A = this chain, B = another copy of it.
Amino acid sequence: MNLSGKHIIGFEEVKSSDTFTVSNPATGVVLDGEFSNGGGEAVESAAQLAERDFDVFRNMPLNKRADFLETIAEEILVLGDALLHRTMAETGLPLARLQGERSRTTGQLKLYAQVVREGSFLDARIDTAVLDRRPLPKPDVRQMQIALGPAAVFGASNFPLAFSVAGGDTASALAAGCPVIVKGHPAHPGTSELVGRAIQNAAKKCHMPEGVFSLIQGNNIEVGQALVRHPFIKAVAFTGSFKGGKALFDLAAARPEPIPVYAEMGSANPVFILPSALEHERVASGLVDSLTLGIGQFCTNPGIVFGLQGESFDKFSSVATDFLKQKPVGTMLHAGIKSAYEAGLDALASVTGVDVIAGDLKNAEACSGNPVLLKTNARTFLENDRLQEEVFGPSSLLIACESKAQILEIAASLTGHLSATIHGTKEELVEYRELITILERKVGRIIFNGFPTGVEVCHSMNHGGPFPATTDSRTTSVGTAAIKRFLRPVCYQNFPQEALPKALKNENDTKIWRLVDGNLGQEPFYPL
């Protein structure tokens, strides 16, 4: 495997004088590769190319755009196990997980290709003219969605494939017709380079314009800031910490021309265990499996768990404790994440009324994170806002509540989270109907008798939620609706057929769904 360490700027590879390296979090050994540490110059080159080629890219036939997405998937597979081994070395994640994540990544690319070919994402609308309308004739008005412009995507450390260089943000932005400039995550630059080259190869094979994709490496925050500030950039997608996401949001809002920032900033994903479910060992074991999955390094990790106090709750806690103790210590993604995890645990444990019931808060190894369970009561939870902040890693806080009323009070006190989960019977769900009403306003996804980890990539998925889970609750970063983030409407009034975009011409030869005079259909439209 040959790593140049360079940025990928269109069809070129470009070096910065400053470089950085990366080490294996499991061993501490420095890995091959001296990676260019990007700055304003790399951003400028990539942005110029993206802007130059934006119109060409967005106006290519949709099937060519779809071919490109599918070819990226193929080129990633061509990298074979060499990619997975490099990713393992950079992240400490096990092979089986990375195989699964690669499937998800290529699956996402292919799913967006389908969406692009199918064409409904264009939201094509036609209102036909009524020339004899009084007092004024009605014009012919047609609308469709077009790409926003070059998009900046920040690679996430916890999904080195599925939410990094060729991940969901990149795939959905390209699907929308936006050139993409990725800021590679500094924890897996080798993975980024390999995947970036796969995209570059696909772009060449599919005769895409050069500016369609660039990858800028860097382990400094200035390069990301330069990207978000660049006037050619029209949208930003980010998955990571609240601090990082909010800083990008503020930067984008302060631009002379503000632009949308889709920052998914994590969540504590509240879980409500209704009385009957406290009795089930499989709920306790499922919870522990979910909170330790991937060493707890998922945005959907269940961090806070509520139940009615009493014998059942105590038993549930004790069963969960037993399961947790069987879970191995895991290698976290990098030293920064591990230290943030332990600092988060310390902050929880330092709150009066919070007890550690399983696991040690500290692990002497640089990148090892211990599974931990903590426990408190509802009063303490309600009095300490910090207890609902995400602690990124394999821990959960169990919260004993006094009554149904207090559970509802707690739900109402929550800030925005990505998901909420309810365990119980159908009858309990009816009894707790009000809980669902409250949670609809607090989260993007409500799960019944399941666990929040494992985000299905499909049409109906919503991976998003009210602030501070994300900076834009109107959008999802997973699933086909994610493409909407990179689109805006344009309408054409009284245009001759020849000058209309293909999707809005009368004949509708690709049979896309369109809203014609308020009626959805796939038929051609023949004016009277």
Interface residues of A (CB under 8 A from B): 55, 59, 100, 114, 118, 120, 123, 125-127, 135-136, 138-139, 141-143, 146, 148-149, 249-250, 253, 257-258, 260, 415-416, 426, 429-430, 433, 436-437, 440-441, 443-450, 454, 456, 458-462, 464, 466-468, 471-476, 480-481, 487-496, 498-499, 513, 515, 517-518, 520
Instruction: Say whether A495 contacts B138, CB under 8 Å.
Output: no
Tell me the bound Cα distance from A428 to B50 in angstroms: 29
**Sample of 9 more A-B contacts, CB < 8 Å, known A257-B467, A462-B491:** A141-B458, A143-B461, A148-B473, A148-B474, A444-B491, A446-B492, A448-B496, A459-B518, A462-B490
Instruction: Say whether B257 contacts A426, CB under 8 Å.
Output: no
Given A55-B437, A139-B450, are A489 and B462 also a contact pair (CB < 8 Å)? Answer: yes
Tell me the bound Cα distance from A454 to B430 in angstroms: 50
Instruction: Say whether B459 contacts A473, CB under 8 Å.
Output: no
Given A456-B139, A460-B127, are A448 and B490 also a contact pair (CB < 8 Å)? Answer: no
Question: Which residues on B sit within 8 Å (CB–CB) of A141?
Answer: 456, 458, 460-461
Residue of B nearest to A149 (CB): B441
Residue of B nearest to A114 (CB): B518
Closest CB of chain B to A491's CB: distance in Å? Answer: 4
Closest CB of chain B to A432's CB: distance in Å? Answer: 9
Selected contact of A446 from candidates B139, B467, B493, CB within 8 Å: B493
Tell me the bound Cα distance from A491 to B478 in angstroms: 12
Instruction: Say whether A499 contacts B426, CB under 8 Å.
Output: yes
Question: Which residues on B sit within 8 Å (CB–CB) of A126?
Answer: 460
Instruction: Say whether B146 contacts A490, CB under 8 Å.
Output: no
Closest CB of chain B to A370's CB: distance in Å? Answer: 26
Tell me the bound Cα distance from A471 to B491 in angstroms: 18
Instruction: Say whether A449 contacts B488, CB under 8 Å.
Output: no
By Cβ-Cβ distance, the 7 closest A-B pairs, closest first, are A253-B253, A125-B460, A462-B491, A143-B460, A127-B458, A141-B460, A447-B493
Tell me the bound Cα distance from A443 to B476 in angstroms: 26
Instruction: Say whether B494 contacts A448, CB under 8 Å.
Output: yes
Residue of B nearest to A99 (CB): B135
Question: Which residues on B sit within 8 Å (CB–CB) of A437?
Answer: 55, 59
Instruction: Say whether B491 contacts A450, CB under 8 Å.
Output: no
Question: Which residues on B sit within 8 Å (CB–CB) of A459?
Answer: 125, 127, 143, 515, 517-518
Instruction: Say whether B499 contacts A450, CB under 8 Å.
Output: no
Instruction: Say whether A253 contacts B260, CB under 8 Å.
Output: no
Given A135-B100, A142-B460, are A488 and B473 also a contact pair (CB < 8 Å)? Answer: yes
Question: Which residues on B sit within 8 Å (CB–CB) of A416?
Answer: 257
Selected contact of A426 from candidates B436, B444, B462, B496, CB within 8 Å: B496
Given A139-B456, A143-B462, A490-B445, are A474 and B59 also a contact pair (CB < 8 Å)? Answer: no
Tell me the bound Cα distance from A495 to B430 in angstroms: 12
Given A141-B461, A460-B127, A499-B436, are A488 and B467 also a contact pair (CB < 8 Å)? Answer: no
**Can you list 25 A-B contacts (CB < 8 A)?**
A100-B135, A127-B456, A138-B456, A138-B458, A143-B462, A143-B481, A148-B474, A249-B258, A253-B253, A257-B416, A257-B466, A260-B474, A440-B490, A444-B489, A444-B491, A446-B493, A448-B496, A448-B499, A462-B489, A462-B491, A466-B488, A473-B488, A474-B488, A481-B489, A513-B520
Instruction: Say whether A444 contacts B494, CB under 8 Å.
Output: no
Given A491-B446, A491-B461, are A429 and B258 also a contact pair (CB < 8 Å)? Answer: no
